[in-house]
Amino acid sequence: EAYARERYEAPQGQVEQILAHIWQELLGVERVGRHDNFFALGGHSLLAMRMIQLLRLGYEHDVPLTALYESPTIAGLADRLKTPGQTIEQFRSREMLLPLRSEGDGPALFCMHPGAGIGWAYLGLLRHLPGHPIYTLQSRSYSQADYAAESIHAMAADYLTKIQAVQPTGPYHLLGWSIGGYLAHAVATLLQEKGEQVGLLVILDSYPVPEVDRASPIPNGDELEQFIRRHLGELGYTTRDLDDSLVASMAKELEMSALLMREFKPAVFHGNVLFFRACDDTADRPPIDAWKPFVAGGMAVHGIDCDHGAMMQTGPLTQIGPIVADALAAGVETSVGRADDLVCDV
């Protein structure tokens, strides 16, 4: 469906009227027509989560979050509500491998979780990659309370077993943001060690930690919880939306991620990398060529107009999504460049 506001047509029937009422409150608009688009009206992924919660808790309607990305109008979503299928509980899943979309004729994309360990951050990719199955890996700590990862490489090996249970042979297409960039790179090198082909490796604003920064202090749990609440608040969540236990789990995961990232020593990936750099907060970022010792091929680098924490939000995804879609459509690379083949638009 087109991402633009259509001529006004009043909602029809109870379900459309309920949806319109919710959108008016969430988006702060006076009226919503049945063909108006959630994202064109200012919606984003976290507001989408709040809408799903309101439907489930307040109106006893269940709908998978993917339905909103695939049918982002009142009329389209109401029609999906009438269709039997998966419930929102799928997206509260604690499973390590979470299918955001399990069907499609295109090659599958496997997304490694960012620092907080949960995979729904990648839901926004769905509307930019139609026809592609998309899976996200989530931290084992959400399904195994006493779990503590030994290293990035151990996590990558763990995740690779899940990936190959879905797709036994290559080529594999991998994407990772933040610690997910480390994980995607580590999974890619493990696959190559096994003789498998990696068709696409996408890293979003993730950099090897310089030796000088490996002893820097890491924020404690309370500080991380405050950071999470502040960051999610800026993105539209209110205090009543943030479950204390979830925030505590996310803070614990962030702390573990920070420790593992500064201990990570990458292997060399023999292929090309598609890299996205957040351009609004580059002052404290290592240079892009920090990856050069660990990438034997070339790097195509695209600057995105956002800060690190916003890369999976609606605006940045309008830049990132089409580039990833084109890369997937191009298929497996037939040649490997050199590490100094740095193509950069920033």
Determine which of 96-105, 189-198, 240-249, 286-295 has the lowest per-residue pLDDT on average. Answer: 240-249
Domain 93-344, CATH 3.40.50.1820 — does that match? yes
State percent of the chain over pLDDT 90: 36
- pLDDT confidence bin for 1, thresholds 50/70/90: very low
pLDDT at 145 over 90: no
Query: 244 or 238: whose pLDDT is higher?
Result: 244
Please check whether residue 121 is in contact with residue 231, taking contact to mean a CB–CB distance below 8 angstroms: no
| More confident of the two residues 295 and 333 | 295
* Distance of alpha carbon 218 from alpha carbon 259, whole angstroms: 8
- The CATH classification of domain 13-88, taken from the options 1.10.1200.10, 3.40.50.720, 2.40.340.10, 1.10.15.40: 1.10.1200.10
Decide if 123 contacts 65 (C-beta within 8 A): yes
Q: Is the pLDDT of residue 150 over 80?
A: yes
Name the band, by pLDDT with cuts 50, 70 and 90, for residue 335: very low
> How confident is the model at residue 336, as a pLDDT?
36
Is the pLDDT at 162 greater than 80, yes or no?
A: yes
pTM (2 decimals)?
A: 0.75
Q: How far is CA 239 from the centre of its chain?
A: 23
Question: Mean of the per-residue pLDDT values for the chain?
Answer: 82
- What 3-state class would DSSP assign to 59? coil
Q: What is the pLDDT of residue 69?
A: 84
CA-atom Rg of the chain in angstroms: 20
Q: Mean of the pLDDT values across residues 182-201?
A: 97
pLDDT at 328 over 50: yes
Q: Are 289 and 346 in contact (CB under 8 A)?
A: no
Confirm if 247 and 229 have CB atoms less than 8 A apart.
yes
Question: At residue 63, does pLDDT exceed 90?
Answer: no
Model confidence at 136, pLDDT cuts 50, 70, 90, reads very high
Please report the pLDDT score of residue 215 as a whole number: 59
Give the model's confidence band at 333: pLDDT under 50 very low, under 70 low, under 90 confident, else very high: very low
Averaged pLDDT, 322-326: 96
Q: What is the pLDDT of residue 207?
A: 92
**pLDDT score of 332:** 52
Dihedral sign, Cα of residue 163, residue 174, residue 258, residue 260? positive
Structure-model confidence comparison of residues 341 and 120, the more confident one: 120
CA atoms within 13 A on the CB side of 74: 26
Q: If DSSP codes are grouped into helix, strand and coil, which group holds residue 29? A: coil
Q: Report the alpha-carbon distance of residue 121 to residue 27 in Å, rounded.
A: 20
Mean pLDDT is lowest, of 46-50, 184-188, 228-232, for: 228-232
User: pLDDT band for position 80 (50/70/90)?
Assistant: confident
Which stretch of 7-11, 50-54, 257-261, 332-336 has the lowest confidence by average pLDDT?
332-336
Query: Is 60 exceeded by the pLDDT of residue 143?
Result: yes
Q: Concatenated DSSP letters for 220-249?
A: -HHHHHHHHHHHHHHTT--GGGS-HHHHHH
The pLDDT of 201-229, averaged and rounded, is: 79
Q: Helices 152-166 and 244-263, interaxial angle, to 10°?
A: 110
3-state secondary structure of 198: strand
More confident site: 236 or 297 = 297
Q: Does pLDDT of 184 surpass 80?
A: yes
* 68, 77 contact by CB (below 8 A): yes
pLDDT at 243 over 70: no
- The domain limits of the chain are 13-88, 93-344
Kindly state the helix (H) or strand (E) to which residue 314 belongs, with its residue range. Answer: helix 314-330
- In DSSP notation, 128-175 reads GSTT--EEEE--GGGT-TT-----HHHHHHHHHHHHHHH--SS-EEEE
Rounded distance, CA 59 to CA 54, Å?
7
Question: Is there a shared CATH topology between the 13-88 domain and the 93-344 domain?
Answer: no
Q: What is the band of 117 on the pLDDT scale with cuts at 50, 70, 90?
A: confident
Is the N-terminal amide bond of 210 cis, ω within 30° of 0?
Answer: no
The pLDDT-based confidence of 195 (bands split at 50, 70, 90) is very high
The three-state secondary structure class of 97 is: strand
pLDDT at 3: 42
